[in-house]
Amino acid sequence: MSTGYLPLNDQLFSYLLNNSLRESALQKQLRLETASIPEGGMQISPEQGQFMQFLIKLLGARKTLEVGVFTGYSSLCTALALPDDGQIIACDVSEKWTSIARRYWAEAGVAHKIDLRLAPATTTLDALLADGQAETFDFAFIDADKENYLHYYERALQLVRKGGLIAIDNTLWYGKVADESVQDVDTIAIRELNKALHHDDRIFLSLTQIGDGVTLAIKLID
């Protein structure tokens, strides 16, 4: 049994994509359009999107939450994996970027599954809790401003059901989390999140090397 990890060089990464990725033409079009803008690095990778779809299918998810939409690639992936009566409540603050998302959601025929809430995510999440929607979500994906990750996580943990899954992006943060000489606000916030989740007995935890690090947390409590 290997005790290390397999380095993913360009040749092996290309093999992985060629033998696993099932990205639709529309998904690819959105991904490439987003990659052409200066902020395109905020977009998740296609293999990460497919992994999320795999998790949603595995969970049999019908009701999901997304914190951070950007141009909508992750929500498009999620919506395509949900049944026709599935729902995503999607939180973002940018009309500019989500206007691109809306265009692709409509073209893919999944706009009816996505309830976009343009407001600070903590405001939207608190409103959902006040509306009695605690423990009604199957899946939550967090990929937004890093300073508020712990706030988003705590609210998402209340909103997902027992056995539901929270996925959090960028938890390896380009390797900065392991370099104590890096002390910027975002890196510190992600370190604090990782430490808190490591010791959180309300969840079953796995921090994976997918993309820039994706933390998976299964809720264990009612």
- Confidence label for 147 from pLDDT (cuts 50, 70 and 90): very high
Q: How many CB atoms lie within 10 A of CB 2?
A: 5
Cβ neighbors of 128 (< 8 A, separation 6 or more) are 89, 159
Q: Is the pLDDT of residue 3 over 80?
A: no
Domain 23-219 bears CATH identifier 3.30.300.30: no
| Confidence class for position 8, pLDDT limits 50, 70, 90 | confident
DSSP single-letter state for residue 99: H
Mean per-residue pLDDT of the chain? 96
Q: What is the pLDDT of residue 5?
A: 76
**Residue ranges of domains in the chain:** 23-219
Q: What does the pLDDT look like over 66-123, one tens digit per residue? A: 999 999 999 999 999 999 999 999 999 999 999 999 999 999 999 999 999 999 999 9
